Amino acid sequence: QVQLVESGGGLVQPGGSLRLSCAASGSVGSINAFGWYRQAPGHQRELVARINFGHSPTYSDSAQGRFTISTDNAKRTVYLRMNSLKPEDTAVYYCNAHTTTFRAEDVMRDKPIPYEMDYWGKGTLVTVST
């Protein structure tokens, strides 16, 4: 199990900057990817940024060039640095962690099957307005 807690949201003027943080606890050793998603009122939740360990991060078209995702060396915290914020960036931002595990019974029977799981934080509100 993995627990995620976001922080850093708030009110920002257009063109301003903000850094979001997400602290992970629990089975952090099983995490192989972190992501940031956002959801505005009346809209579907969408991917903002994602980082798979061992690979370069990816961003949505709207976030490319403005946002930066990063993690600490121990994979305990993931960050999202947001620059040049726009009113359309207003949304609840959610932290996501992806894990892959194997059951010991399956491994002993030479039939290891990966179990994929996604965990979510409760979100932090970002409001971009004058």
Q: Would you state the pLDDT for residue 39?
A: 98
Q: Would you state the pLDDT for residue 124?
A: 98
* Mean of all residue pLDDT scores within the chain: 94
pLDDT in tens, 37-55: 999 999 999 999 999 988 9
Q: 2-7 and 58-59 as β-strands: parallel, antiparallel, unpaired?
A: unpaired
Q: Would you state the pLDDT for residue 74?
A: 76
Residue (of 14, 21, 19, 20) closest to 84 by Cα position: 14
pLDDT in tens, 66-84: 999 999 877 789 999 999 9
- SS3 state of residue 22: strand
